Chain A
Amino acid sequence: MTDALALAFDFGLAALVLIVATWTLLTRETAAAAVGFVAYGLLLTLVWMRLAAPDVALTEAAIGSGVTGTLLLGAAARLRPTEAAAEAEQPGKAMRFVVALLCASVSAGIAGTILMLPDPAPTLAAEAAAALPETGLGNAVTAVLLSFRSIDTLLETVVLLLALLGVWSLAPDRVWGGRPGPRDGAYQSEVLTFLAQILAPFGIVVAMHFFWIGADAPGGKFQAAAILAAMWILVQRAGLVDSPPVSRRWLRLVVVAGPVVFLAIGFLGSATAGAFLAYPEGYAKPLIIAIEAALLPSLAVALALLVAGPPARTE
C-alpha cells in the first residue's frame, strides 16, 4: 500500500517537474519564465527529498531556486525592453523541428543508459561509512565535501571567487570600486521593512543552525551561506542597508579569507600529515570546523555580491 502510494506520488511529481520545465522554456514572456523557474526549483527540492538527498534538497531550495531565481527575476525586469526585438530572431519551424528531434534523441539515449545501469549499482557508500569515524563527523556528505574530496570544495570556492572577479571587472571605469545595484530608498514600504526586520534575524539563526548541525545532519556551510546571502539581499532591497562599495578592504578580506584558510590548512597537511589537504590524525574535526567557519562568511558575501552584480555607482 505505502509502496504503491509512494510510486504514484513520484509519478505525479515527475510529471509536474516536466510540465513546469516545459512551460518555463516555452512561455513567451521572460519574467513569467523566471517565476516558473522559482516554482521549478521548489518541485526539484521535493524530488531531492524523494531521492533521499536532504543535503542537496537544502542546496537546491537555497541556491537553485532562491538565489538563482532572484538573479533571473531581476535580469528579466531589466531586459524587458529588448524582448520584442529578440522575438523576431526565433529560428523557423523546420529548424525548430530538427532541433527538437535531435534533443529528443539525446534524451532517449540518456534515458536508455540510465535504465541499463549495472545492477547492483557500484557505490562508495560502504567506503564512506567505513572512513567516517576517522573524520569525527556524522554526516557523510559533509565528510565527502571537506575530507575525502576536499580538493573539489577548495576549487569550487576559488571558482566562486573568480566569478565574482569577472562580474566586478564588468564595471564601467567611472564607477570602478563603487557600490553594486541601484540604491533602494529606505522606508519605501512599511510592509517590506517589517518583513526584513523580522525575517533577517530569524534567517541568521536558521543559517547558524544549518551551519552547526552540518557536521552530523543535513546542512552545512553552503546552505547556511546561501541563507545568509538571501537575508543580506533582503535587507538591502528593503532599503535598511546599502550595498557596500566593492573597494572596501574588509569586504575583500572577508571574501578571500575562506579560500586562504582552506589553502593554509591544506599546506599544513603537506607538512604534518604527508599530503596536501590531509588532516593530522585526531585533528580532522577541529580543522574541518575551522575551514567551514572561515568559508561561511566568504561564501555568504560572495553569493550576495554575485547577485548584486558589478559596481554601478560611486555613491
Chain B
Amino acid sequence: MAEFLLCAAVFVVATVAVGLLRLLRGPANTDRMMAAQLLGTGGIAALLLLAAATGEPAPVDVAMALALLAAFSSVAFVKSASR
C-alpha cells in the first residue's frame, strides 16, 4: 500500500510539473501565477500522500503551511498587478 501511495505522489508531482509549462509560456502573468498555484496544490497532495505512506506526521504540517502561503502569494500577486 505504501508503494501505491508513493507512486500516486510521484504521479501528481509529475503531472503538475508538466503544468509548469504555463509558467514558462504564459502568456499573461496571471497564467504564470495559476501554474504556481497548481504546483502548490500538487505539492500539498504529494506531501499528504508521503505522510500516509511513511507514517510520519511532519509532511502534513508542511502541507498546511503551503496551503496558507500559496493563498498569501496569490493575494500579493493580485494586489501588485492591480497597482
Contact = CB atoms under 8 A, between A and B. Distances in A.
A contacts B directly (C-beta below 8 A): yes
Interface in A164-183: 182
Interface in A1-42: 1-2, 5-6, 8-9, 12-13, 16, 19-20, 23, 29, 31-32, 35-36, 38-39, 42
B47 interface: yes
Contacts of A13: 13
Q: Is the interface of B mostly helix, strand, loop or mixed?
A: helix
Interface in B35-75: 35-36, 39-40, 43, 46-47, 50, 57-59, 61-62, 64-66, 68-73, 75
Nearest to B72: A230
Given A42-B66, A43-B39, A77-B81, A219 B61 contact: yes
A5 B23 contact: no
A45 interface: yes
A223 B65 contact: yes
B68 A217 contact: no
B69 A61 contact: yes
Interface in B1-48: 3, 6-7, 10, 13-14, 17, 20, 23-24, 26, 29, 32-33, 35-36, 39-40, 43, 46-47
A43 B47 CA distance: 12
B23 A54 contact: no
A310 interface: no
A234 B72 contact: yes
Given A9-B10, A39-B20, A42-B43, A70 B72 contact: yes
Nearest to B35: A39
Interface residues of B, number: 44
Given A39-B35, A70-B73, A32 B26 contact: yes
Contacts of A20: 20, 23
Nearest to A75: B80
Contacts of A290: none
A237 B75 contact: yes
A213 B61 contact: yes
A34 to B, nearest CB: 8
A66 B72 contact: yes
Interface stretch (A105-113, A202-210, A257-265, A292-300): A202-210
**Which residue of A6, A32, A42, A213 has the most chain B CB atoms within 10 A of its CB atom?**
A42
22 contacts: A35-B33, A36-B23, A38-B73, A42-B66, A45-B62, A46-B43, A46-B46, A49-B59, A54-B58, A62-B65, A77-B83, A182-B83, A192-B75, A195-B75, A206-B68, A213-B61, A217-B57, A218-B58, A230-B68, A230-B72, A231-B72, A234-B72
